[in-house]
Every structure is written in C-alpha cells, then in structure tokens.
Amino acid sequence: CKINKDEVIGSTCDVTFKEINEINAKIRPDLLSLVHSDFFKYFKLNLYKQCPFWNDNNGYCVNRACAVDVIEDWENLPEYWQPEVLGGLADESVEVDGSKDDECAFLDQLCDKGRNGIPDQPDFNYCDVGDFHNNESVLVDLTANPERFTGYGGDQSSQIWSSIYRENCFSSDHEGQCLAKDAFYRLVSGLHASIGTHLSNDYLNTETAKWGPNLDLFMARVGNFPDRVANIYFNYAVVAKALWKIQPYLAHLDFCNAYHEDVKSMIESVVSNLDSKIFNENLLFQDQISSSLKDNFRTRFKNVTTIMDCVHCDRCRLWGKVQTTGYATGLKILFEIDSEDEAARQNVVDKLTKYELIALFNTFDRLSKSIESINNFEKMYNEKVQST
C-alpha cells in the first residue's frame, strides 16, 4: 500500500497512520472483549422495513451467508434484555408523557428503568432512532452473525452504493462546504472500504470450504487505493473523538448486571487511550452560516442510514445499520455537543439511547478490526512480494 505512515491523515485529522496503528494495537484486546460482553453484543433493528426510496420488491439474497440469526430463546438472555424490561418489543407506544424520546435518556435510563417527562426537543439525530422501538424489530446477537463475505453484489449493491454517494451533493452557496463535503465523502468511502476489508478478511474459499483472508480480493477492493485505506483511518479518528468527548459521562453509566464493573473498566481502558487531538470537529461547522450546512449534513446522513432499508442481504443490512447508526451517533456527539453550553451538552448526552451507544462501540470495533486486518494484509503482501 503506497501510504507513508508518518504522514497525517489530513482534513481536520492531525494524527499519523502510525499513531493510529499504535493506539489501535493498545486498545484492541479490550475493545474486542467489550463488544463480546452481554451488554454490547445485542442490537435491535427492523429487518423487514420497506425501502422508502424506490419500489423494489424483486431483490433477494439466497445465500445462507446473507441470513441473520435472530434471538428467539429469550429466556436465556440477561434480565435487562427481557421484553418487559426493554419496554415491550411488540409495543411501539414509547410516546410516554408526549415525548417519543423519553425512552432514550442515557445516563439514568440506560437499562430502560422508568422514564421521566422530558419535553419535546429539536431533532438532533443523524439517524432514525424510532427503528429501535418498532414492533417489527428483532434482537440480534452480533457475535453470532459476523460481518463477512456474503456474496451480495451485482446491480443491487451498486445501486445502494451509488445512492449513498449521491447524498454527498451539497449546494454550492455555503461557505466552508468543501471541508464538510470532503468529510461526508470520506465517511461513506471509509464505511465502504471497511466493509470491503471485512468481506476480504473473512472470505469463503469455495475450494477448501474454509473462511479466511483473501489478499487478492483485498487489494482489488481496498489495498490498491490509498485514499480508501486513508478513509478507514479517518473514520477511526471521527469515532474515537466522539468516544473521547463523552468520556466524562461514561463513569455514571449503570449497566445493570453482575459484570457491571468489568464492562466499565473495559470501556475505561479503551477510552482513556484516546486523545482529543485525533480529530478537530470544530473546523467543520464554525459559525452561524455553517449551521444550515450542518442541518443539510445531518439530513443527508440520515438518508444514508435509511438507505440501509433497501439492502436485500439481511446480514449486510444488519452491519450496515449498526455502522451507519454508529457514525450517526458519533456525528451527533461531535457536532451537537457544544462544549461552551453545559445545558445543551447535557441534553444531547441525556438523549443518547442504549442502541446508539452499542452501535457506536461496535462501529469503533469494526474500524479497529479493519485496521488490524489492513496491517495483516500488508504483511501478507510483503511476504508474497519477497517470495516472488
């Protein structure tokens, strides 16, 4: 890969590839344990939602690899994942006290214990949080449904990717839109490249019937394009900064289970290795004029999360939803938490949902795993070059 690792990643991101590799190597074991913990491994989503953008009933994915195993034996789940504690899976009535977001309170309601009446607030969301409470939503164990090669492709997936890239089409009358446009593109391309890395890293070799890394596929999808590799690092920096920014609030979390202290200490050991200089979000939307640009950015990113409902491969849709929700949460934290205004900051943090937090950490894990895989592929590539 033609990347100089001592160079900075660029566009509002002042750390080098090497520095991110070092951070990643340090936090990888704890992050992996964290996303395998009972609290972080379950995600709720609606796999049956109609695609809202085009009429498309013809798509399907017949491979076994496209399927998602959903949780059906509820009795074996920890207490805080039981339907009644979740507020009723088959119950969409989250509009308690007139506020749809009541269930979303973060610090005191992470375990969905009780709800208090927070009045309606402006929509700060970069994704549709209503999905988590939909009565058709299913609960999925992410560790039982790894992100890997599924065989999904052709016109269907191309259509999805081109619709996503088309969202990056800001009007030209905004000052500073170049940086925002660049950031939007890098986020989407980094997501695309990270998916490409995972499907190459966990690829089904049809001759041996074994799953494993496929170097040629990785090079064709990601490795031969330094900008795509760089965009994965960029996304890592974005999500890392969002986690760094909510660090002061994490100490107050209650994970409602016997392993509470373990989970908290894993979070602490991941987040304490992150540094505020990893990403400078303040350069993106700096002044009053930028606030409409920010609204535009938010709406467009929300569309990207909704486009996931058009993905016909359930496994791909699952990980697409997790990751776009994770980025949406990261963007909300970065751009809506105003460090000057304590009340506004508290308001954004209070309204984060359990699912947004789960998506945020799992997205960070996906990027962390991608970076680990990129370094492994680099070794495989060098060995291959030396042996020829």
- Binding to ligand FAD (CB under 6 A): which residues in 218-277? 228
**Residue 184 interacts with ligand FAD (CB under 6 A)?**
no
Whole-number minimum distance, CB 208 to ligand FAD, in Å?
18
The stretch near ligand FAD (CB under 6 A) out of 5-13, 14-22, 195-203, 279-287 is 195-203
Say how many residues touch ligand FAD, by CB under 6 A.
22
C-beta of 162 vs 288, nearer to ligand FAD: 162
Secondary structure class of 145 (helix, strand, coil): coil
**Residue 193 interacts with ligand FAD (CB under 6 A)?**
yes
Report the residue from 153, 212, 226, 248 that binds ligand FAD according to the rule CB under 6 A: 153
- Binding to ligand FAD (CB under 6 A): which residues in 108-147? 147
60, amino acid identity = Y
Q: For residues 363 and 327, is the Cβ–Cβ distance under 8 A? A: yes
φ/ψ (deg, to 5) at 166? -65, -25
Of 39, 108, 23, whose CA–CA distance to 262 is shortest? 39
Q: DSSP state, 16?
A: B
Report the residue from 218, 234, 319, 377 that binds ligand FAD according to the rule CB under 6 A: 319
**C-alpha–C-alpha distance, residues 185 and 193, integer Å:** 12
What is the H or E stretch that residue 212 is in? Answer: strand 210-212
The residues annotated as belonging to the active site are 313, 316
**Residue 192 interacts with ligand FAD (CB under 6 A)?**
yes
C-beta of 114 vs 212, nearer to ligand FAD: 212
Q: Which parts of the chain fold into alpha helices (H)?
A: 17-35, 83-86, 154-166, 177-201, 215-218, 226-250, 260-271, 289-307, 314-336, 342-350, 354-387
Per the DSSP assignment, residues forming a β-bridge with 205 are 210
Give the length of the chain: 388
C-beta of 78 vs 151, nearer to ligand FAD: 151
C-beta of 11 vs 109, nearer to ligand FAD: 11
Report the residue from 42, 152, 234, 364 that binds ligand FAD according to the rule CB under 6 A: 152
Whole-number minimum distance, CB 254 to ligand FAD, in Å?
33
Per the DSSP assignment, residues forming a β-bridge with 363 are none
Q: For residues 41 and 20, is the Cβ–Cβ distance under 8 A? A: no
Whole-number minimum distance, CB 377 to ligand FAD, in Å?
15
Of 85, 43, 14, 9, whose CA–CA distance to 277 is shortest? 14
**b (16+ CB within 10 A) / e for 119-135:** eeeeebbbbbbebbbbe
Whole-number minimum distance, CB 194 to ligand FAD, in Å?
8
Sign of the torsion formed by the C-alpha atoms of 357, 169, 196 and 283: negative
The stretch near ligand FAD (CB under 6 A) out of 113-121, 189-197, 257-265, 366-374 is 189-197
Whole-number minimum distance, CB 109 to ligand FAD, in Å?
30
The strand pair at 203-205 and 138-141 is best described as unpaired
Report the residue from 158, 224, 276, 382 that binds ligand FAD according to the rule CB under 6 A: 158
Site string for ligand FAD, 297-316 (x = CB under 6 A): -----------x--x---xx
C-beta of 246 vs 308, nearer to ligand FAD: 308
Question: Which residues contact ligand FAD by CB under 6 A?
Answer: 147, 149-150, 152-153, 157-158, 160-161, 189, 192-193, 195-196, 199, 228, 308, 311, 315-316, 319-320
